Copies of this chain bind each other. A is one copy, B any other.
Amino acid sequence: MEGFLMDEIDLKIVSTLQKDARISLKKLADICFISAPAVSTRLTHLEERGIIKNYQTSIDYKILGYPIKAYVSLRLSPKDKDDFYPYIKSVGNVISCDCVTGSYSQIITCYFKSTRALDNFINDIQRFGETKTQIVFSTSVIQRPLELNPGEVYF
């Protein structure tokens, strides 16, 4: 990461795109009070520097037949790490996996078509260590962007 600083306009671009990735360059330009080509070059830079990682569409997995969301915690034996990482990447049901502090060292977020499918998955990963599963009942804060122009945030 080079010694570089985002200005107000970059921040406006990024936070606007977070909320609507399909907005046109022209509209972005109007919002930022600069020209469309200027937005375009800034976008390219933001992408090249890895600040913008990708553009995703969020889907209602429930409607699409994946009603089961779960957090699976896994106490991963250090010796199994090299086997575990490629494996967990290969499972299409898994949308994120983080190594965390605490006795359960991996937190896996995943979606399934049924509790039976979830159960199969859990049985499978138990070869890597002890697991704890928490199935999601309801979601009060749906996956959303981090607030970059902070109103109500902690410092």
Contact = CB atoms under 8 A, between A and B. Distances in A.
Interface of A: 1, 6, 14, 17-22, 49-61, 63-64, 66, 69-71, 84-85, 88-102, 104, 106-108, 111-114, 116-118, 120-121, 124, 132-148, 150-155
Contact of A57 (B52, B71, B88): B52
A51 B69 contact: no
Say whether chain A's binding surface is mostly helix, strand, loop, or mixed: mixed
Given A21-B22, A113-B155, A145 B56 contact: yes
| A19, A138, A140 interface centre (most CB from chain B within 10 Å) | A140
A144 to B, nearest CB: 6
Most buried by B among A1, A135, A154: A154
Nearest to A148: B64
Contact of A94 (B52, B98, B134, B141): B141
**Which residue among A57, A89, A142 has the maximum number of chain B CB atoms within 10 Å of its CB?**
A57
A134 B107 contact: yes
A14 B97 contact: no
User: Which of A71, A111, A146 has the largest count of B CB atoms less than 10 A from its CB?
Assistant: A146
